Every structure is written in C-alpha cells, then in structure tokens.
C-alpha cells in the first residue's frame, strides 16, 4: 500500500556520473523521460513517503537465484547487500550519513515486499560496462568509504522503488484486476516468462506491469494483441517467488508462483514486443555468474527485431518470448478530502464495511488489517486507498472492478467502489438469510426430536405406550403366526427379526431390515382362495361375457374338468393369440371369475429391465421385489390368475433380457421355488394360473413359447359381430351416454352397415368406438332439441344457505379453493382492456367453490323417441370408410384375376391383380407396394407360364421363343397398402395365362394359394378372414389349396360358407381348368394340359 522508508539517492556527482554511463546520445528520449537519478527526483519521493507506518509481511523467497554483482544492475536501481537474518532486520531508515552509499537493501516489512536475497558482493570492484555500453569510459561508482564504520545489525538500508519505469514486462492477469497496495499471488506457466522473471530477479529488477484480460475465460502469460487486455493496470513488484510444481526427478520446473505487490496505476502506451506461445520444453538451469567474472566482459548484444526499440535496461528480455510494453504513470487527480461528497461516500463505505463485517468474518479480518496498516490516524485522510481497498476485498464483476481501477477522480472511484461493495452486502445478506433458515429448520427438528424422545420416555415410564420398535416386532410376530411359512423362510424370518431387535431405529440398516420383513410377512404363505371347478358355472360365466369363441371356451372347460378331477390346475400356462380387439384380456378376466380366483394383470410390452420380473438387490436404495411378488401381496392369495399382457412385445435392453427371466417364472418345473432377487427365499408359484396374451407368435422367443399352451383367438364373422353389438356393446354404450332408460334404438340394419362399411376388423374394438359415438351424438341431439328448459342446470346454493346447512350431513360439505384457470390465448393490453366486472366480483372470482356432493343424472322424458337407421349413419359417424367390396362389378378385361388377402388389422380383403403387356425386352415390372415374397411369387408364376407356353397354346411350337420383345407390368390395387405373402401365387398365374391367351376371367371366382416352380399349390393361412371378405363381396366360387380343406370345414362358420362353392386343388393345372371352364382355350387344354 505504502512505499515507506525510501532512501536518498547518491550524491549529485555520483548521480551525474551514473546518468552519463546510462544514457548515450542514441537514447536521449529515454534519458529525458526517465529522470531517475539526482536528488531533485528522489528527495520529493522520499519526503512523501517518510513517516509512514510500518507493515509486517514475511514472504518465502527463492533461494536458488544468484543475483549478479553491480555490473549487471541498471544504474537507476540500487544494488543490494548481502542479506541479513530476518529477525535482525529493522524498519529504521538509515541516517543521512549513509545516503551516499550505493549499495542499499529493500525493507520487506516496511514496504510490503521481500526482494530476493542478495549475494555477498564480489571481492573485485564492479566493471564500468554494466550498463551494456562498452564505449562508455566513465569511472566506476565509488564504493563505500573504507573509514565508514560497519552498520549495526538492527540498522537496515532499503532499496527504493523507481518512480518512473517507462518500459516493463507485461503480465496478463485473469478474472480480477490488481489494486495498489494489496498483494496478489499469480501462477506463471509459460517457460519463457518464468525464465524472464528469474533473470529479472537475478538482475535486481523485480518490476512488471499487470493488466487484466478482457476475456474472462482466457488464461495466458503473454500478450499477443494489445486489445486483449485492459489498457490500465498496475506497476507491481515481485516480492517473492517459488516453484509451483516439478516433475518426478525434481529437475524440470513446470511453473512459478510469484507474489506481486502493486505500487501505482499505469497505462499501456505501446506494445513494444509481443510474446509468442511456445511449446513447453525442459529448461536448463541458469548458470550462476561466477564471482570472479571479468570486469571488462561485454554483454551479448540482443537480436535484431522489427518494431519499437527496447531500452537498455530491458534489452535482456529480447531473447525471451515475453511481452514488453511502454507505460505511463497514472496519478490520482487532486482532491479535497474535506469535500462533502467525498466524506459522504467514505462514511457510507465504512458503514457498509461494518454491515458486511457483522455477516462475514473474512471481511472482518481484512478490515482489521487495513485499519492497522492505515498510515493516517483517520480513515478519511486516505479516500483513494479506501476505495481501492473496497474493490480489492470484494468479489464483484471483473469489469466493475476494472472501472474502479481506471477511475482517477476520487469521488468517481468512491462511487464505483460503493456500488461494488453494496452488491457484496446484498450477497452477504442473502447468504446469512439462507444460513439462518437452515439453522432454524435444523434447530426446530432437533427440538422436536428431543421433545418426542422425552415424551416417549414419559409414556414408557407411565406404561401408556411401549417402544415403537417393540410394537413393530410384535406386529411382525403376529403376522408370521398366521402364515404357513416353509421351514427355510421361517428361519430367515427369525434371523432378520433378531437383527432388527438389536438395531437402533435411526440406523439405516434398521430401515432396510424393516422393509424386508414387511414384504416377507405380506406374502400369502399357505393362504389361497377356494376354487370353483363347476363346468355349468364356468359355461354360464363365459357365455355371459363372450359370444362365440367356441374353441377357446371348450379348451377352458377341458382345463376345468381336469382340475376338478385332480383337485388342482398346477402347471398350466395358457397363451391367447389373436388380432387386436378380439377379447383376449377379457377372456382372462372371465376365467378368473369362473374359477373364483383373484385377478392381477400386468403388461410386459416394452419391458427392458430384468429387475421388473426378478426384483432388485436389497443393497440398492429404493429396492423392490418383482411384479409377481407384488401381485401376491396385492391379491393376498397364493393361487391368483395372473394375466401377462403383450408378451410378444417384450423388449431387451442393457439391463438384461426380461424374456429370459420369464422362463423361470413360467416353467412349471422351476416355479415351485422361484427366487426373487429382493426376497432371496424360494417362493412357490406352482399354484398361480398364468394367462399370457399376444398378437403374434413370431416375436415370442422359442424357449418361452415352448412353455406355453397356445390358444388362437381368431376374428369374429359378421353375424358374431352383430350379436356382440346387440348383446354387449349397444347396452354398454347406451348406459355410458346417459340414455339407459331413454327410447333410443340402433336398428340391426344400421349395425350391419357399420360392420360392412365402417368396421371390417377382426375384433370389435373399432365397432365399439363407432357405437359409442352414435349414442353420444344422439344424446347431444336430444339435449339441443329439448333445450335448457327440460334439462336445467342445478342452481348453486347461496352462501347463507350453505352456512345454515346441517353439519351432520357430510355430503353437503362444500368449501372454496383458489381459482386456477387456463390463461387466455390472446390477452388484451392492460391499457386497452375493458373491465367486465366490478372489484367485488373480481375478488369473488379469485376463489372457486368445491363440493363433495355427487351430481344426479337427469331423466330423459318418455316422449323422446330416436331410431337410428342405416340412412342416418352418415350424420352420426360420417361417410363409409369402405365404399365397395369389389373393384370390378362387370367382367374385367383379359389379364385381371381376383385374389384373397389378409390385412394387418386382422381382416380379409378381395384383391384384384392386373397384368398388361407392352413392347420391350422381356422384363417384369411390379407395382402396388409389394413385398419381396409376393415379388418372388410373380417371378415363379411367369417362369411356369414361359415353360408351359406351348401346352397353354401361347406359342405354336415348343421351340418358339416367348416374351423376347414384350415387357410385362403387374399391379395390385390399392397402391398405398403394403402387400406381402405367398398366397397370391395362383391368382398371379391365372392373370398371366388370361393375358397371354386373351381370355377373360369370371369376376365371381376368387382364389388363394402358394405355388411352387413345378406347379404345386401349397396351403396358406388366414382362410377364415379371406372367406369372410369373399362372402361380403358376393364371390360365388373360391379356389383354395387342398391342404386347407380341414381348416375351412372346421373353423369357418356355416353361415359364412353358405352360397359359396369351394374348389380344392393341388396343382395349378386344376386351377386353370376351373378358372377357364367353358372357354374355347380350355377345350384345347384337355389334350395339351391334361390333369
């Protein structure tokens, strides 16, 4: 802060001699601007700093740097003597009799800095060429007079800080600027800068300029661009340095920590030398200068460089890649310390200091040190230093602190420092408030805890209440007594209970053990619900819940019959497979109701974590058992029906394969001792009846599918859908729409229209949605037609009546809550909006009345009669989704055949196949969003036709080439629907033969079947849905593979097969004879294409 105990300069003659040695004719600018020598410059400086208070500061110094003799020191910096012990140093200023002495020492405690220790002066007198100018033949400076008595150990001389230092090494500082009078430790990593600082310390020139980087995230030790740093910084002295870090062998230094003491403000005027970023390479240790160095040795001339010239005193920095700048001193503008505004600012700063000191102990210590080290007895005598101190101890924004540093007007500096300090006070207040809140909460909890412990002790002494742990243990014992635990489980229970008895309730292990015992005693060991194996009861329940599904119902009755004879149904896992909406989940519910079992359902669709099946380890926080253990706890019996939904959509992630984890649970040979990770005791799942559901079998893993008995639930035919709609879906939708007792009827003809032209899916879920929509539209129409007079809104009870309501009626209880409405989409501006309510109404609307009274349904008058006909369906559910069943009503042209397809939604469709020929090179083009398999079927059909072209009558001789100059294009409408599968083989072959023989195919004939390359017809799937689509389209003849005959006769209802003639074929020749029956070409085939 203060530069104290400055030393008078040497005598006038010595100063003039020094000036002559330093300044040659070529550096007149520097000598004119420096003005360091002579009493005219030093004396005022000494007078200004005399009488200042002493500061106590001890710093660690680098002891491995050997300062040179006086030959290496600049003439404006006094040489140093050999260091004295620190405890022998004194802050007394030397007498006037020693003012002519050239070798002086810096007083660290007085000036706030500690110079590097000086070596013992060499025995030989210093050479006159120390300035670096060998042409100067001036006499060396006079040494101390021999008759001068030696200094006393308590007397110390001190090195003066140069008042003008026009060219310095520039060191960029990150994050916050330095302020005069306040120490700052910086770490320097750049090897060139580290070497330069070592050289400066060796030469006794420990001075540099510190400037704040503009980029807060940047961190560099050199300045490559003058615009990268703020122009205003500080002139700092390196008081001590020490090694920051080193490698293993301790030879290579990686960095240097320097303690800087800023003296004054400076401004950059010019970047003399820009540093360069160099790679960190091992540096050789600086060689010590021998004490017997030749007095006439000349320094190595610096390398030539473009740009501004460097002064003689900083020319040794030329060989280092460091930043050197020209600077000017910045002096604080004169001020009147008695000015009203300055005193007011200082009073406020002192007041803020006191407030922060009460909140932050660190500030209290810093303020105490500042007060002790303050030179003036009154703090108001140093307003500029007070402002610097306020900025130096705060943690404000770097730009704000830089503004304080750049302020040369005292009142402006005080104002900016006060702003920074105020922000620091706000942060300290907020921190203190948060600390108080946390302390108060902790104190409150501690108080509650102590009081509760005292209350427990009092109640226990009076016998009013036992210990909580004792009650918990007693509860677990009572639960275990009512369960039939296996011997191994009972042993584990006793061990865990004994562990809990010896644990403190506050221990974390006690909570884990308590949770484990909760689960262990809530599993229904030996508890089961009595089962009902009555076949009549089961038949009644299944018929009540489902229509049709004869095969599924028969299989369930067989299952019950076996259970009735054996007394148990252990080891059965049923898998219901079918398209969406056919009632797979509801079948599982019906089985549980028929068996009088508890029902639990969970879905494994998208499940990727094995822990959901097998549970978590107890070591994890928040661990839980698997789903099956949770199911047993929920239902309370060990023989529930567990429905595992969407088993074909189970996933696989980084947490394991849940499908593999299901193997143990669903395997009758293994689930008698199912081991959950959390329970870690065997649990018997053999009495659990597992029912799984899936939409397809392809994605179920083979080992899992092998453990299940698959029951296929196919789609419903139109008659079944109509019965389901009239018996189940219609009444449910009518009641859900509030029309249970109203005369609103959905005619059977309208239901048939819905099934044919709106809902062709295999299931009835989409049909249910349409019926619900019809009844909702009917309810809306009734309310609109009759109006609010018939269906009035119940009037809210007035506040006076609500207050007078008898409190004995809990259903009339009502209260108010804060109103939470959605914000308007386009709110009007406050100045343009018009208030619609008074202030009283506005305050009333801030609350909303909430009641527990259930609203009663409104009865529809008996005079209302609504009948929904097929013609009115468009008004209720929109236009039909399916316009027509057949694309060709009239006979199509040659090359068109009719196939049967199975859609992805579980329904069938009549799919025409179109083929045309055109001039080309014999290529085959396929369109209609066809898959790979159906493309291969087209290739097979065309190849068979080419190989049998002569038999078919397409070519005149067997050797005649066919389709060498024509291309074939095959298209299957509709183009946006993807088509895949082998079942279109017979239809494709018929289309090719029709095209090449120019013979039309009857549109009432549809066909399905896979063909092989030699002409065999192979069986396909989805016959029930395909036949249903053909029945709906009015197809008269269906050509099907002979391998599908048992399936058609067994599974297709007779109502669907009525009016359709089925032709079963094994070879494509039979297909062609049936398709082209009665045509002239068929008569020729009797000879060439015989069966």
The catalytic residue positions are 983, 1026
Give whole-number Cα distances, 721 to 417, 539, 774, 878, 884, in Å: 86, 20, 17, 20, 20
User: Token pair of 481, please?
Assistant: 């007594």
CB distance 234 to 265 below 8 Å? yes
Calpha distance 1091→1088 (Å, rounded): 10
Write phi, then psi, for 2 (nearest 5 degrees). -115, 140
Calpha distance 993→999 (Å, rounded): 8
In eight-state DSSP terms, residue 979 is B
Give 3-state DSSP helix, strand, coil % of the chain, rounded to 5.
40, 15, 45
CB distance 67 to 202 below 8 Å? yes
Q: Could you give the dihedral angle defined by the CA atoms of residues 95, 96, 97 and 102, in that order, rounded to the nearest 10 degrees?
A: 90
Helix (H, G, I), strand (E, B) or coil at 686: coil
CB distance 417 to 390 below 8 Å? yes
CA 562 from centre of chain: 55
- CA-closest candidate to residue 816, choices 845, 837, 840: 845
Write phi, then psi, for 422 (nearest 5 degrees). -65, -40
Calpha distance 116→198 (Å, rounded): 10
CB distance 972 to 911 below 8 Å? yes
Q: Which helix (H) or strand (E) holds 268?
A: strand 256-273
Helix (H, G, I), strand (E, B) or coil at 438: helix
Contacts of 182 (CB under 8 A, 6+ apart): 1, 262, 388, 389, 392
Calpha distance 382→346 (Å, rounded): 10
CB distance 71 to 126 below 8 Å? yes
Calpha distance 448→453 (Å, rounded): 8
- With both helix axes pointing from N to C terminus, report the angle between 765-790 and 748-757 in degrees, rounded to the nearest 10: 130
- CA-closest candidate to residue 22, choices 272, 289, 298, 311: 311
CA angle, 873 then 874 then 876, to 5°: 65
- CA-closest candidate to residue 141, choices 168, 119, 121: 121
CA 142 from centre of chain: 76
Calpha distance 1030→902 (Å, rounded): 11
Contacts of 688 (CB under 8 A, 6+ apart): 628, 638, 639, 640, 641, 642, 671
Q: What is the DSSP string of 844-890?
A: HTTEEEEE-PPPPPPPPPTT-EEEE-GGGHHHHH-S-S---S-S-SS
User: Token pair of 1085, please?
Assistant: 């085939």
Q: Which residues pair with 267 in a beta bridge?
A: 232, 328
CA 601 from centre of chain: 32
User: Token pair of 376, please?
Assistant: 């003036």
Give Dmax over CA atoms of the chain in angstroms.
152
CB distance 589 to 641 below 8 Å? no
Q: Which residues pair with 910 in a beta bridge?
A: 900
Burial zone of 541 (CB within 10 Å; 0-12 exposed, 13-18 middle, 19+ buried): buried
Helix (H, G, I), strand (E, B) or coil at 650: coil
């Amino acid at each position: 802060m203060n530069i104290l105990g400055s030393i008078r300069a040497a005598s006038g003659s010595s100063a003039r001699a020094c000036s002559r040695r330093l300044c040659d004719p070529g550096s007149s600018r520097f000598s004119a601007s420096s003005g360091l020598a002579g009493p005219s410059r030093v004396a005022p400086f000494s007078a200004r700093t005399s009488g200042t208070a002493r500061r106590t500061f001890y710093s660690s110094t680098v002891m491995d740097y050997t300062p040179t003799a006086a030959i290496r020191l600049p003439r404006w910096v006094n040489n140093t003597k050999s260091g004295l012990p620190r405890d022998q140093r004194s802050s007394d200023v030397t007498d006037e009799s020693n003012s002519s002495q050239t070798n002086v020492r810096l007083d660290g405690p007085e000036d706030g800095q500690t110079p590097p220790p000086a070596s013992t002066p060499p025995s030989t007198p210093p050479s006159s060429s120390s300035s670096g100018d060998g042409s100067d033949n001036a006499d060396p400076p006079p040494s101390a007079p021999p008759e001068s008595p030696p200094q006393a150990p308590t007397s110390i001389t001190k090195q003066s800080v140069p008042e003008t230092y026009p060219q310095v090494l520039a060191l960029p500082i990150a994050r916050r600027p330095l302020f005069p009078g306040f120490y700052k430790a910086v770490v320097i990593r750049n090897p060139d800068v580290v070497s330069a600082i070592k050289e400066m310390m060796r030469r006794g020139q420990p001075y540099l300029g510190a400037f704040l980087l503009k980029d807060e995230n940047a961190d560099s030790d050199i300045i490559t661009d003058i615009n990268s740093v703020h122009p205003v910084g500080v002139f700092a002295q390196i008081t001590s340095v020490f090694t920051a870090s080193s490698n293993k062998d301790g030879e290579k230094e990686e960095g240097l920590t320097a303690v800087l003491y800023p003296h004054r403000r400076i401004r950059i005027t010019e970047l003399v030398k820009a540093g360069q970023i160099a790679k960190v390479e091992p540096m050789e240790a600086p060689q010590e200068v021998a004490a017997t160095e030749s007095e006439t040795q000349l320094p190595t001339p610096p390398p030539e460089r473009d740009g501004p010239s460097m002064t003689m005193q900083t020319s040794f920095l030329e060989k280092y890649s460091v930043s050197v700048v020209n600077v000017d001193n910045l002096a604080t503008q004169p001020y009147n310390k008695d000015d009203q505004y300055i005193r007011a600012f200082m009073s406020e700063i002192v007041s803020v200091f006191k407030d922060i000191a009460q909140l932050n102990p660190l500030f209290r210590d810093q303020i105490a040190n500042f007060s002790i080290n303050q030179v003036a007895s009154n703090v108001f005598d140093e307003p500029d230093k007070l402002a610097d101190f306020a900025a130096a101890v705060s943690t404000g924004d770097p730009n704000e602190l830089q503004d304080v540093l750049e302020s040369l007007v005292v009142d402006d500096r005080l104002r900016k420092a006060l702003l920074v300090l105020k922000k620091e006070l706000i942060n300290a207040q907020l921190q203190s408030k948060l600390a108080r809140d946390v302390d108060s909460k902790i104190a409150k909890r501690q108080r509650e805890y102590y009081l509760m412990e005292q209350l427990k002790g009092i109640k226990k002494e009076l016998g009013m209440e036992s210990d909580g742990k004792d009650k918990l243990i007693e509860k677990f014992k009572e639960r275990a007594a009512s369960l039939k635990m296996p011997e191994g489980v009972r042993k584990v229970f006793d061990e865990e209970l004994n562990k809990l008895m010896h644990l403190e309730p506050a221990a974390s292990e006690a909570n884990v053990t308590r949770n484990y015992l909760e689960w262990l005693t809530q599993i229904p060991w030996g508890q089961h619900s009595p089962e009902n194996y009555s076949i009549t009861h089961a038949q009644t329940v299944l018929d009540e819940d489902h229509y049709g599904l004869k095969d599924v119902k028969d299989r369930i009755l067989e299952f019950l019959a076996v259970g009735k004879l054996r007394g148990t149904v252990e080891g059965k896992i049923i898998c219901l497979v079918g398209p969406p909406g056919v009632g797979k989940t509801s079948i599982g519910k019906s089985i549980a109701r028929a068996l009088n079992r508890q029902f639990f359902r969970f879905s494994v669709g998208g499940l990727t974590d094995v822990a959901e099946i097998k549970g978590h380890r107890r070591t994890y926080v928040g661990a839980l058992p698997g789903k099956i253990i949770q199911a047993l706890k929920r239902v309370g019996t060990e023989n529930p029906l567990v429905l595992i939904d969407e088993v074909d959509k189970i996933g696989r992630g980084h947490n394991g394969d849940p499908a593999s984890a299901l193997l143990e649970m669903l395997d009758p040979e293994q689930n008698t001792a199912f081991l959950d990770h959390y329970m870690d005791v065997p649990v018997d799942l053999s009495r659990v009846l597992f029912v799984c559901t899936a939409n397809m079998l392809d994605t179920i893993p083979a080992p899992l599918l092998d453990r299940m008995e698959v029951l296929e639930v196919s789609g419903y035919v139109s008659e079944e859908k109509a019965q389901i709609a009239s018996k189940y879906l219609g009444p449910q939708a009518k009641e859900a729409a509030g029309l249970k007792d109203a005369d609103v009827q959905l005619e059977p003809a309208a239901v048939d229209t819905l099934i044919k032209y709106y809902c062709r899916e295999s299931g009835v879920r989409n049909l249910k949605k349409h019926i619900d929509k019809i009844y909702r539209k009917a309810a809306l129409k009734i309310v609109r037609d009759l109006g609010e007079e018939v269906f009035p809104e119940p009037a809210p009870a007035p506040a006076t009546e609500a207050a007078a309501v008898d409190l004995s009626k809990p259903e009339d209880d009502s209260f108010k809550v804060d109103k939470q409405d959605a914000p308007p989409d386009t709110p009007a501006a406050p100045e343009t909006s018009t208030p619609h309510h008074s202030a009283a109404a506005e305050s009333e609307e801030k609350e909303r009345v909430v009641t527990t009274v259930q609203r009663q349904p409104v009865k529809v008058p008996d005079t209302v009669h609504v009948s929904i006909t097929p013609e009115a369906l468009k008004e209720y559910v929109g236009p039909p989704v399916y316009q027509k069943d057949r694309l060709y009503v009239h006979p199509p042209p040659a090359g068109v055949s009719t196939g049967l397809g199975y859609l992805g939604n579980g329904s069938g469709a009549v799919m025409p196949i179109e083929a045309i020929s055109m001039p080309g090179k014999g290529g085959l083009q396929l369109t209609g969003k066809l898959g790979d398999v159906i493309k291969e079927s087209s290739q097979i059909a065309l190849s068979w036709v080419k190989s049998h072209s002569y038999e078919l009558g397409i070519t005149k001789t067997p050797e005649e080439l066919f389709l060498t100059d024509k291309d074939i294009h095959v298209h299957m409408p509709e183009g946006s629907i993807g088509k895949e599968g082998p079942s279109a083989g017979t239809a494709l072959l018929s289309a090719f033969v029709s095209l090449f023989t120019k013979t039309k195919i009857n549109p009432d004939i549809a066909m399905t079947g896979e063909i092989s390359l030699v002409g065999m017809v192979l069986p396909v799937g989805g016959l029930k849905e395909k036949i249903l689509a053909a029945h709906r389209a009015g197809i008269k003849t269906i050509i099907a593979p002979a391998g599908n005959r048992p399936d058609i006769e067994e599974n297709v209802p007779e109502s669907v097969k009525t009016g359709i003639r089925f032709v079963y074929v094994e070879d494509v020749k039979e297909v062609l004879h049936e398709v082209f029956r009665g045509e002239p070409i068929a008569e020729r085939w009797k000879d060439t294409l015989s069966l």
